[in-house]
Structure 1
Amino acid sequence: MSAPFDVRHRIRWKASVALAGVLASPTAAVWAGSAPLDIVTVVKRIQDAALRRSFAGTYVVSHGGHMTSSRITHYCDGRDQIERIEALDGQMRQVYRHNDTVHVFWPGTRTALIEQRELVGRFPAPLQPGDGTRLDQYELLPADDERIAGHATQVVVLRPRDHLRYARRLWLERRTGLLVRWDLLNERGEVLESASFSDLQLNVKPSPQTLLQEMHRLDGYKVNKPVYTATSLDSEGWTLSASVPGFEVRRTVRRPMAPGVARTAAPVGSAASTTGEPGATMLQAVYSDGLTHVSVFIEPFVATLHKREVPATLGSTSALSRRNGDWWITAVGAVPVAALQQFVDGLARRKP
């Protein structure tokens, strides 16, 4: 994968594996024959459906004036999740996931990437202690029910209480709670990004053994398997001077830079910085508010590479970069630029 300062590639990557307009008045959302729900219950229902249901279908994503479609096969037995996503448009690409391990294949170039999903982000983010409070940054509103891909759905809107996140409109299959469509809306109710099944089969029975065999068929491929080292901003000499409301750091890692960049932009003081050999690394801190993610990357500043400080946006995903002394900081996420601004402005090098 290319380095995070390649903003367009980073935005497209997040859009490719990211698998809500008029906002209703605030009243309690209710499933048929059930009690009113809160936002935590809705999020748990979506997650439980993905953990307990096998399904297959065609998934269409529209963002930034572009539309892509993929064929998804999802297997789950209540413990393991195995998934295959085949791109139907553009360059051939196959994505396999076994729980949190992701294999991405590009058959045309015979290259493959193995990465952990928690660094890519997911929706909704896995619930952790304290997320109920962070989810209070959104208000749960009901909307009119609709049929999607032949399935009756319950529709809800998650409206943000501030300007640091987007609204989401969600379509949940009424019986199972499976998320079959979602829209991301700006403050004017305009759709920034939309993803939906155009056809969907529930309770299919794909062969997990076949999917795993395909996932691990790496012969003939040049495999990139980045090694991540768990760390923290504090131990790396950084601090976020003011927390961004609702967001909490989920993981911080030191990760390798792209080989071509590593020879040019090795960390100050590293062996790679003096020898010009691969081995340069950067920091990635992943933040979440319980629904969406923001990744913050910190890497050495290189004048010939790092020139763009204005925001770049594709659909709902934006990136903002800023020089900080000898360092280049980039924040990327499906959030308004105002949120990214708080991340890049708040990061400071800790005094010795």
Structure 2
Amino acid sequence: MNYVAAEGARPASGTAVPASAAESKSINDWLMRMHEASKKQSYIGTFVVSSGGAMSSAKIWHVCEAGQQMERVETLTGAPRSIFRHNDQVVTFMPDHKVVRSEKRESLGMFPELLQSTDGRIADFYKVRPEGVERVAGVEADIIALMPKDNMRFGYRVWTEQKRGLVVKLQTLDVDGKVLEQAAFSELQLDAPVKMDTLIQMMGKVEGYRVEKPVLVKTTASAEGWLLKAPVPGFKAMSCYKRPAAANAVAGEEPLQWIFSDGLASVSIFVEPYDRQRHDKASSLSLGATQTITRQLDSYWITVMGEVPMATLQLFANGLEHKK
């Protein structure tokens, strides 16, 4: 179904169309219900992602106790991975390499991380439309379409379990309403008897593994000498990090990640020193909903990546400037 055509033409620019108070409340109430359900619901399920012609799946154990959240994800396709997340602590086991990576991440909400901010501006850039009811993984789910008001961002179709609002299926839609990517539970057991203590014990069993603890240093793009010449409509800077430099790296040239969001979609700008042997010519790549642009800027190599149309990503890439 081409939901874009049903809504009529949208403005090509990213000029916000201010939402009415009722419209803002409607979309934010729904998003917050979905967000809270992901934080409070215990479940076990098999999750399948289809993107760019490839399919992957994982088993998820999720538990919430006394305000604490714990999640275990076991990949069922590709390289074996066990990922544990306890609040903002993430531990990834890679048995093929006998490596465990332990790191802290700012929590934007547990699976699915659709809601990136709660500043009330989402309704300025997206419309909500109910699209009926459907069974997914054995539960009745309400279907909601989140339709962009311009061509700067993709749309979403979201299935939420009727009683509590847990997201059970999510589609990312291009500007013509075609499905770019889909993620859904193929089986789901709600109120599953998952024990947080058991998962915490499993998370701590690192014997026989080399433990890596990369530390992200919080900073600002401005402090590192970077700016966007013009804001990209709807997108706000959320955070900026430096990764620890290698022992032989030049001070001040640590890789940088600058993260933006419009509340639903996110874009990351990665900056690192240009290396002629590692970095090829400028390129662009589309894989499912994820778009990537790479380019050289002075003595730096820039990678811009996000689930937005390529034209939007280009605004980030072209607008980036280094203060000398």
- Report the TM-score when normalising by structure 2: 0.88
Q: Which SS does the other structure have where 2:84 is aligned?
A: strand
Q: Which runs of 4+ in 1 moved over 4 A?
A: 119-122
Aligned-pair CA distance for 1:132: 1.1
Quickly say closer, same or farther: Cα 1:247–1:339, change in 2 above 3 A: same
Match for residue 3 of structure 2? 23
Q: Which SS does the other structure have where 2:234 is aligned?
A: coil
Match for residue 191 of structure 2? 203
Aligned-pair CA distance for 1:202: 0.7
Match for residue 150 of structure 2? 162
Match for residue 289 of structure 1? 262
Aligned-pair CA distance for 1:135: 4.1
Q: 2:299 aligns with which of 326, 334, 338?
A: 326
Match for residue 9 of structure 1? none
d(CA) in 2 for partners of 1:114, 1:333:
24
- 1:308 maps to 2:281: yes
Alignment of 1:214-253 (within 5 A): 214-253=202-241
Match for residue 339 of structure 1? 312
Alignment of 1:104-253 (within 5 A): 104-118=92-106, 123-128=113-118, 131-253=119-241
d(CA) in 1 for partners of 2:237, 2:107:
12
Aligned-pair CA distance for 1:175: 0.4
- 1:41 maps to 2:29: yes
d(CA) in 1 for partners of 2:243, 2:122:
28
Quickly say closer, same or farther: Cα 1:139–1:120, change in 2 above 3 A: closer
Match for residue 277 of structure 1? none
d(CA) in 1 for partners of 2:298, 2:267:
22
d(CA) in 2 for partners of 1:87, 1:63:
16
Segments of 5+ residues of structure 1 without an aligned counterpart are 1-20, 27-34, 272-279
Contact 2:217 2:244 in 1 (8 A): no
Aligned-pair CA distance for 1:330: 0.9
Quickly say closer, same or farther: Cα 1:336–1:242, change in 2 above 3 A: same
Quickly say closer, same or farther: Cα 1:167–1:126, change in 2 above 3 A: closer
Q: Which SS does the other structure have where 1:132 is aligned?
A: coil
Residue 297 of structure 1 aligns to which amino acid in structure 2?
F
Q: Percent identity?
A: 39
Match for residue 57 of structure 1? 45
Aligned length: 306
Aligned-pair CA distance for 1:230: 1.1
Aligned-pair CA distance for 1:118: 3.4
Segments of 5+ residues of structure 2 without an aligned counterpart are 8-21
Q: Which SS does the other structure have where 1:245 is aligned?
A: coil
d(CA) in 1 for partners of 2:116, 2:260:
12
